[in-house]
Amino acid sequence: MTLSMAGLAPAPHTPLPAKLCNTDRLLHAMRARGLDAIVATTDLNVFYLSSFSSIAHKSDEPRPYAVILSAAAPERPILVVADYYVSTFLDQPSWIEDIRPFRAVMMGLDMAPREDDIDRFIPEAGRDVAWVERARAAYRPAMADQVKGALRDLAVAGGRVGFDDVGYGHRLALEGIEVADGYDALMFARAVKSADELRLIERAQQINRRAIEHITTHGQAGMSWRELNHAYHMATTALGGFVRDPGGMVWGHPRGTDPAHVLQSGLDDFELEDGLHIMFDCHGTIDRYCWDGGKTWVVGDEPQGPGKLYARATAEVAEAVMAAMRPGARISQLQALGREVYAKAGVPDASRALVFFHGLGLSHMDFEIQQADGTPYHDWILEDGMVVPMHLLYPGGATERLWLEEVCAITPDGGRPLFGWGFAPICG
């Protein structure tokens, strides 16, 4: 069964803000960790620091880009990129003005490097543009030379430099520079979102909501699970979003009375039946910012029997927990509150419920693993401006289980829902 995607118009696609990153928060994290500079080479951190969204590279490939930012001169960061990426900045501006290209893989090893090799990657629209001319003059044969030169120009010699990929830092074999782990400093910065980031994250959640509403409105008993997955992928794409292989729908759905928590393997398949509880926990991105979450769809029906109690209890938990998602709240406190409300609602065993949280933004993490003093940060604390999904799952069989995930922006008044579609399951 193939669902129509009529009426799903893609979100407008326009240049992003030239600066998304919270440099003040990053500098605070660098000072707390004794870092004189940060070198970011992983895809999402480079995007966060520069608004440069690369295309074509996979996560485990050597990255042909780097952002170097020093604590002494944070207003003068340097962006190193492969020569074939220079033209990107004619469409997508960056607050970084010092862009330094290097001769990359498209130029043949059988050809001696030339200063004008860069010209073949610069379109007519880039001629006589001041920053392009500076980039042409900065062209060098190798990325490592550009990164070392940037550290030298930023007067970091003899300092301590944090790399989000420590292995890359060691491979540079820098003399007189201490290589340190910069992962947590960048995650600390990314944890609290700017107003521009919040708008992008909220837009992502609305794509997910519209896709789920579309396929539950038009889907029905008789469809296969894999057809439903395909319809979801088609809907998100029609709306302008992206879902990565092996798929965007996360939960698996044991049949009969099996209450196990399982994730789908990508090989699952079964026929949808009236009364079946489908749990939408969906992942995807638009402009690199993630969406997450969803709720329970009762196929062709509404909750029956124990499922009715679980739906009511989960809504009560959601209301109480979201109200408590204020700056200063600790994750373990929110989890304890959720189980307490489940118990008061009369479910058979509140300890069976899953109540969990994580950050959300450019990844499904976006908070530090270790604090500046090196202690693990498992039981983390909410801050104003964070984005945190609230996950609630009361287990049961195929016609009882109840799932709700709402993505919340943290405010002094509690969690602000970014889906905004209430806590009740989708019925019918």
Statement to judge: residues 159 and 219 lie in one domain: no
Q: Last residue of some domain: 173, 191, 209?
A: 191
Give the mean model confidence (pLDDT) for residues 184-195.
98
In contact, 377 and 191? CB cutoff 8 Å: no
- Written as six digits, the tokens of 354 are 């899953």
Cα Dmax for the chain: 76
DSSP 8-state secondary structure symbol assigned to residue 40: E
Tell me the Ramachandran region of residue 37: left when phi exceeds 0, alpha when psi lies from -120 to 50, beta otherwise: beta
Question: Phi and psi of 5, rounded to 5°?
Answer: -105, 15
97: in domain: yes
pLDDT tens for residues 371-397? 999 999 999 999 999 999 999 999 999
Statement to judge: residues 169 and 201 lie in one domain: no
Nearest-angstrom CA–CA distance, 107 and 110: 9
292: in domain: yes
Nearest-angstrom CA–CA distance, 359 and 391: 12
Statement to judge: residues 179 and 217 lie in one domain: no
CA distances from residue 159 to 34, 156, 187 in whole angstroms, order as listed = 9, 5, 21
**Domain range enclosing 345:** 195-427
pTM over 0.75? The answer is yes
283: Cβ contacts below 8 Å, ≥ 6 apart = 243, 244, 248, 250, 290, 291, 292, 364
Cβ neighbours around 112 below 10 Å, total? 8
Strand ranges, E, within 146-206? 160-163, 178-181
Q: Last residue of some domain: 191, 216, 251?
A: 191
* Nearest partner of 115 among 123, 128, 103, judged by Cα: 103
Q: Last residue of some domain: 160, 191, 222?
A: 191
Give the mean model confidence (pLDDT) for residues 418-424.
97
Nearest-angstrom CA–CA distance, 368 and 97: 29
Nearest-angstrom CA–CA distance, 418 and 428: 24
pLDDT tens for residues 235-246? 999 999 999 999
182: in domain: yes
pLDDT tens for residues 131-174? 999 999 999 999 999 999 999 999 998 899 999 999 999 999 99
CA distances from residue 7 to 192, 235, 238, 322, 408 in whole angstroms, order as listed = 35, 10, 9, 33, 28
Domain count along the chain: 2
Burial (0-12, 13-18, 19+ Cβ within 10 Å), 347? buried
Read off the amino acid at residue 10.
Answer: P
Statement to judge: residues 89 and 145 lie in one domain: yes
Is residue 7 predicted with pLDDT exceeding 90? no
Task: Name the β-bridge partners of 394.
Answer: 402
Cis peptide before 395 (omega within 30 of 0): no
Is residue 61 predicted with pLDDT exceeding 90? no
